[in-house]
């Protein structure tokens, strides 16, 4: 493959700049050695030894494609500029190098794993970027905005600094609001022995409380015996997984699963979030030694699919605007829910216009992997780094799609920015929005 090209334009980020100001070469070498020796093993060695630097991963990456095939943005190029260099120099790299590596790992890779499907060996390049993030976390070099989110997780066990009373009060408020529409509706708090524990991500009570309202209407309509906890552990999200603070990641997942275990529920149903699914189904649980989630976790897409299959929800009228469907990486490449989401879309919408490529080959929204959480300093790079997605959306729009269904919070945020930036003028909805709007109540 070609040598990575240079990128221009330095971005100021207080977390990165103040982070490297405290570094010394000795500290970097010590942390790198410690992470490599104690926290990686055969997996890292196999990946780094197997890669033949063929560059076939390049075409998989929206950053690469959107930046005019600049090799610096190719997956292998990102590894070359970060991990390979660190390995080659045995950790003897400069603070400036670490800043550059952090910027690549945190803001130019969504950990979407599309490149793994294009790699002849299936190398999990996202894992390699996570190793870099882990090193950067241990060095204290993380983008400011995502680091403050990690602090919120650590202090409150939720992503948005939501205080204990604010959480409960929001649920009661949404219950009251919903009772204006459905008088006997409940959001049952702390109901031990319920079938379902419904969990959401921090932004729902903070900014999108109507999603809790809608979920309550859907649960109520489907006759589900459900509950929500009145304690920390309600938030299934996890930016610590993405900063590299694995210890707090584990703490968050433990609180989440133990809240469900305390309430003696049979399963956890989680809202439309992709990264949280990755955290509860793959990374957080396994850091704690749970090979699989100790309480089964059902993503909203699977839950919706099941209640439609079982006839628990009836549609009063289908959504009549043509829609296109975004496939969130973490529940499609990570869990294979793409046919389930299509089943629900076809149950609820008159016309689905597919984006191409789709399903497990779909392009990431460019918000995932914590990239959107790195905040305003990196917004332009993120949005311009996904012209590919805008083109996908544009083609779907040209075929008649007026609404984009994005069943994931971060995808929602990322696509909102893309739609606005590229002037696509398409409506954006969660699948729950559509179900709520179209169901018999």
Partner 1 sequence: MHDSGKWDWETGKKEVSDIGKWMEEFEWIEEPYVSPDGEKVASVVRTGDEMEFTACVNGTAWENTFDKVWYLRFTPDNRLTGLVSDMGEWTVAVDDQVWENRFEFVWNSMFGKDGRNIAIAAQKERKYLAAVNDTAWEHGFENMTNLTVSPDGERTAGVIQTVGFGETEFLKFQEGCYSVAVDGKAWGRNFVNVWELAFSPDNRHVAAEVRTNLYDYTIAVDGIPWKEMFASVWKPQFSPQDESVTAPVKIGGSWTLAQDGKPIWGKKFIQVWHHMYSPDGKKLAAVVAPEFGRWTIAVDYNAWELTFGDLVTDAVFSPDGNSVACVGKEDDKWMVAVNGTAWDGKFDMAWQPVFSPDSIRVAAKVEKNGLYTILADGQPLGKESEAAWDPVFSPDGKKLLIRSIREGKYFREVIPLT
List the 267-270 sheet strands across, edge first. Answer: 226-227, 196-199, 267-270, 297-299
Element (H, E) at 396: helix 387-398
Contact range with partner 1 by CB under 8 A, out of 73-81, 147-155, 274-282, 311-319: 147-155
- 376-406 burial code (b ≥16 CB/10 A, e <16): ebbeebbbbbbbbbbbbbbebbeeebbbbbb
Using rule CB under 8 A, residue 266 touches partner 1: yes
Cβ 213 to partner 1 shortest distance, Å: 17
What is the Cα–Cα distance from 12 to 69, expressed in whole angstroms? 25
Cβ 289 to partner 1 shortest distance, Å: 4
* Residue 250 or 413 with smaller CB distance to partner 1: 250
Q: Which residue has the tokens 């269904």?
A: 405
Interaction mask 177-216, partner 1, x per CB under 8 A: -------x-x-xxxx-x-----------------------
In this structure, what are the phi and psi dihedrals at residue 268, rounded to the nearest 5 degrees?
-105, 125
Pick the closest to residue 285 from 270, 306, 300, 264 (CA basis).
Answer: 270
Assess contact for 401 and 353: CB atoms under 8 A: yes
What is the Cα–Cα distance from 84 to 36, expressed in whole angstroms? 12
Using rule CB under 8 A, residue 278 touches partner 1: no
When binding is defined by CB under 8 A, the residue of 10, 96, 247, 350 that contacts partner 1 is 247
* Residue 163 or 314 with smaller CB distance to partner 1: 163
Contact range with partner 1 by CB under 8 A, out of 286-294, 311-319, 364-372, 417-425: 286-294
Using rule CB under 8 A, residue 164 touches partner 1: yes
What is the Cα–Cα distance from 259 to 264, expressed in whole angstroms? 9
Cβ 168 to partner 1 shortest distance, Å: 6
Element (H, E) at 404: strand 403-405
Using rule CB under 8 A, residue 99 touches partner 1: no
> Which residues in the 35-54 window bind partner 1 by CB under 8 A?
38
Using rule CB under 8 A, residue 230 touches partner 1: yes
Cβ 35 to partner 1 shortest distance, Å: 12
Using rule CB under 8 A, residue 147 touches partner 1: yes
What is the Cα–Cα distance from 353 to 157, expressed in whole angstroms? 39
Using rule CB under 8 A, residue 312 touches partner 1: no
Contacting positions for partner 1 (CB under 8 A): 14-15, 18, 38, 137-138, 140, 144-145, 147-148, 151-152, 154-156, 161, 163-165, 168-169, 172, 184, 186, 188-191, 193, 230-232, 245, 247, 250-251, 254, 261, 264, 266, 288-292, 294-296
């Amino acid at each position: 493959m070609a040598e990575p090209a240079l990128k221009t334009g330095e971005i100021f980020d207080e977390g990165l700049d103040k982070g490297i100001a405290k570094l010394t070469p000795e500290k970097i070498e010590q942390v790198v050695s410690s992470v490599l020796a104690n926290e990686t093993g055969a997996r890292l060695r196999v990946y780094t030894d197997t890669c033949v630097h063929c560059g076939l991963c390049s075409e998989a990456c929206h950053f690469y494609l959107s930046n005019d095939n600049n090799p610096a943005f190719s997956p292998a190029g990102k590894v070359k500029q970060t991990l390979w260099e660190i390995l080659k120099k045995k950790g003897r790299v400069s603070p400036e190098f670490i800043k550059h590596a952090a910027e690549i790992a945190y803001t130019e890779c969504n950990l979407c794993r599309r490149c793994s499907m294009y790699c002849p060996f299936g190398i999990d390049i996202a894992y390699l970027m996570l190793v870099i993030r882990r090193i950067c976390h241990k060095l204290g070099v993380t983008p400011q905005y995502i680091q403050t989110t990690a602090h919120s997780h650590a202090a409150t066990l939720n992503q948005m600094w939501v205080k204990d009373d604010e959480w409960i009060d929001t649920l009661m408020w949404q219950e009251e609001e919903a009772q204006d529409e459905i008088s006997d509706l409940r959001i049952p708090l702390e109901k031990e022995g319920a079938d379902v524990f419904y969990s959401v991500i921090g932004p729902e009570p903070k900014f999108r409380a109507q999603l809790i309202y809608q979920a309550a209407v859907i649960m109520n309509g489907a006759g589900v015996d459900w509950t929500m906890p009145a304690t920390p552990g309600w938030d299934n999200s996890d930016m610590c997984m993405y900063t590299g603070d694995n210890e707090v990641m584990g703490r968050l997942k433990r609180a989440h699963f133990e809240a469900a275990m305390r309430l003696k529920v049979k399963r956890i149903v989680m809202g439309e979030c992709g990264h949280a699914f990755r955290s509860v189904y793959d990374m957080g649980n396994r850091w704690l030694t749970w090979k699989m989630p100790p309480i089964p976790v059902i993503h909203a897409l699977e839950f919706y699919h099941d209640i439609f299959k079982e006839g628990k929800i009836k549609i009063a009228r289908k959504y009549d605007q043509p829609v296109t469907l975004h496939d969130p990486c973490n529940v499609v490449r990570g869990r294979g829910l793409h046919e389930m989401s299509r089943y629900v879309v076809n149950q609820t919408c008159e016309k689905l216009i597919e984006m191409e490529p789709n399903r497990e080959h779909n392009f990431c929204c460019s918000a995932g992997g914590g990239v959107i959480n790195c905040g305003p300093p990196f917004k332009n790079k993120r949005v311009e780094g996904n012209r590919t997605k805008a083109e996908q959306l544009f083609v779907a729009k040209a075929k008649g799609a007026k609404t984009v269904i994005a069943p994931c919070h971060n995808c929602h945020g990322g696509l909102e920015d893309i739609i606005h930036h590229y002037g696509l003028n398409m409506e954006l909805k969660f699948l729950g929005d559509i179900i709520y709007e179209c169901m018999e109540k």
